[in-house]
Chain A
Amino acid sequence: MSVQTGLERAASPRDIAVAPTAGKAKRRLGRTAKYVILIGFVIVVLMPVYVLIVTSLKPPSDVNPATSWGLPVRWPWEPAVDGGPTGFDNWTTAWSTLAAPIGRTFLLAIPASLISALLGSMNGFVLSRWRFPHADIVFTLILFGMFIPYQAIMTPLVQMKTSLGMPSDISTLIIVHIIFGLPICTLIFRNYYVSIPNELMEAARVDGAGMLTAYWRIVLPLSLPGFVVTIIWQFTSAWNDYLFALFLTNVQGGPVSLALVNLSQGAQLANYGAAMAGALIASVPTLLVYILLGKYFIGGLMSGSVKS
């Protein structure tokens, strides 16, 4: 009986004749509405970028809060009649202020990501393959280091830095980023290595390979995707870090984040044009990572979610 009613419904004229045309119009309306909403959000998301670019191209005399949304009255390639500064000067000021800090930030981010990734790979291998007693607890204790607010260790860390006489420069930050990058790198590699088939490891064992040989010969060569994700993650978090930079270094020897805040909130009247050019310049490396390695970047973000 229920089958019967089902058939009747399917055959009713409402479903066959009327619904498709009415439904089509309705669906088209729905689709249009959806695109309008999606594009509306694109505009909202890109709004701050527009303001950054436009303001950085304005001559200082034109950087007026009341016209913050307008295009430059005078573009950088149209020099002022009186030979005054143009929008290009924002960019040269920003670059001359940020070039050295950007160099230092590369010196920070590269070793910090490579060393953490290598240690993370070793840990991930051990934790994914070797069921030692209380391995779960050890793993959870390592993960916990990823979630703590770094303020919770900052006071003694600052005291430790002072009493050991460590410098307020990049070298201290490199060590700190390696240490606090370990938990996330371990997690990413562990989740990655769990997917390596057990048979491969068994085969290695049968061939008489010890743990270290198996790691060196079999696991490490398979690890490239894991390294890509951890290095992207560590590179962007070291590049974007401000907390450790502020507490442990000074503007003279610190990374780009510190110099940028100094540029935008400097003691002298804030030069918004230069600050916005600086914000764009300082974002280039992470944006390049995002554009070139976008697929892995998302993968790295997902790994940050522990397990989704």
Chain B
Amino acid sequence: MHKGIRNWGPPLLLISPTIIILGIFVYGLIGANVSVAMSNRHSLQPATEFVWFDNFIELLTEDRFLHSLLNLLVFTVIFMVGTMFFGFLWAWMLDKGVTAEGGFRSIYLFPMAVSFVASGVVWRWLLNSAEGDRASGLNRMLETIGLGFLQNSWWNTPIWGMAAIAMPAIWQLSGYVMALFLSGFRGIPEELREAARMDGATEWQLYRHVIFPQLNPVMLSALVIVAHMSLKVFDLIMSITGAIYQTEVPHTYMWIALTSNDYAKSAAIATVLLALVCVFIIPYLVHLARSEKRTR
């Protein structure tokens, strides 16, 4: 009995504050959120009844919400493709040996240190939708360098406007993906490359059969992180366009619902968002826990 307390007591003492805090503020609040989402609390008045899935059905049949989901999808696809492309390209070029590698690396990575709110100030201006004589930002630059036909109204364009919003996000996070890939490249032992070259592998075969397979775990984590960042996009949109219909995603819609005291709706939107993130994260966490067990 005493031995039990001596073995179990101290670790429990150390970890219990966190378990209690997270139990309340993560799991408790998620539960509370779902219960608000199933109530009819559409104003400051307390809920009078439990409506189960009515709020969700209403949401998923509402054009405005579907529009915000579509926006989120467009943003996510463009953002993921963009960061993976530039991140990989930069890492690959730097990996092959470059003087001043540290300089390039720091410059590509630095936007990561800046907040979306601060970069939003300048991107709001760069993505200004005026064209022609009144053009500013990117439109003005395209005009100046003779690519005037590429001018467009950026985030004011329906659907593809979200691709414009993804540009600053790509600018900000490609360097991070580069850092991940670079560490992946550096993790491949030189002997492995030498051995493949000795066997007469061409540069392409070397990549196809030796390097890419070794990069798979890095690519998986990069994809999961970028996807999950993308599904959380909020700061960037709020600081560039504010909560407006053209660039509405569920996150900004939820802010509008909450500030108009429609608690049930705001909680329902949040529940849908949580479900979306879980689709990516739960398999990933299970995969991590399993591979963790194997290495023990």
Contacts and interface: CB of A to CB of B under 8 A. Distances in A.
Contacts of A110: none
Given A68-B136, A136-B293, A155-B33, A272 B90 contact: no
Contact of A307 (B13, B133, B288): B288
A211 B7 CA distance: 8
21 contacts: A34-B98, A35-B98, A38-B104, A42-B108, A45-B110, A48-B171, A55-B122, A125-B14, A136-B289, A140-B286, A143-B288, A144-B281, A151-B254, A151-B270, A153-B30, A155-B270, A157-B25, A246-B238, A246-B255, A257-B235, A283-B115
B8 to A, nearest CB: 7
Contacts of B152: none
B22 A155 contact: no
A122 interface: yes
A294 B106 contact: yes
Given A48-B171, A119-B18, A122-B15, A261 B238 contact: yes
Interface stretch (A12-20, A75-83, A180-188, A195-203): A180-188
Interface string A289-308: 11000100110011011111
A130 B136 contact: no
A127 B161 CA distance: 45
Contacts of A34: 93, 96, 98
Contacts of B258: 154-155, 158, 247
B14 A126 contact: yes
Q: Lowest 6 A-B CB distances belong to which pairs?
A: A65-B136, A240-B115, A156-B32, A290-B113, A153-B29, A211-B10
Contacts of B158: none
B281 A69 contact: no
Contact of A38 (B22, B98, B114): B98
B218 interface: yes
Contacts of A306: 221, 284, 288
Contacts, number: 265
A149 interface: yes
A242 B238 contact: yes
Interface string A105-117: 0000000000000
Interface string B102-123: 0010111111111111111111
Contact of B270 (A126, A138, A152, A257): A152
Contact of A151 (B111, B124, B144, B251): B251
B82 to A, nearest CB: 12
Nearest to B222: A305
A51 B124 CA distance: 12
B84 to A, nearest CB: 14
Interface in B157-190: 171, 175-176, 179-180, 183-184
Interface stretch (A85-93, A164-172, A273-281): A273-281
B274 to A, nearest CB: 4
A46 to B, nearest CB: 7
Interface in B271-287: 271, 273-274, 277, 281, 284-286
Contact of B107 (A45, A149, A302): A45
A212 B15 CA distance: 12
A28 B119 CA distance: 38
A243 B273 contact: no
Given A51-B122, A242-B117, A65 B29 contact: no
Task: Determine the main DSSP class of A at the interface with B.
Answer: helix
A148 B180 contact: no
Given A136-B293, A180-B25, A242 B225 contact: no
B22 A142 contact: yes
Contact of B273 (A6, A144, A149, A283): A149
Contacts of B231: 149
Contacts of B128: 65
B72 to A, nearest CB: 11
B6 interface: yes
Nearest to B102: A294
Interface string B121-143: 11111101010011111001100
Given A65-B130, A136-B293, A149 B274 contact: yes
Interface stretch (B56-64, B73-81, B206-214, B261-269): B261-269
A298 B179 contact: yes
B93 A37 contact: yes
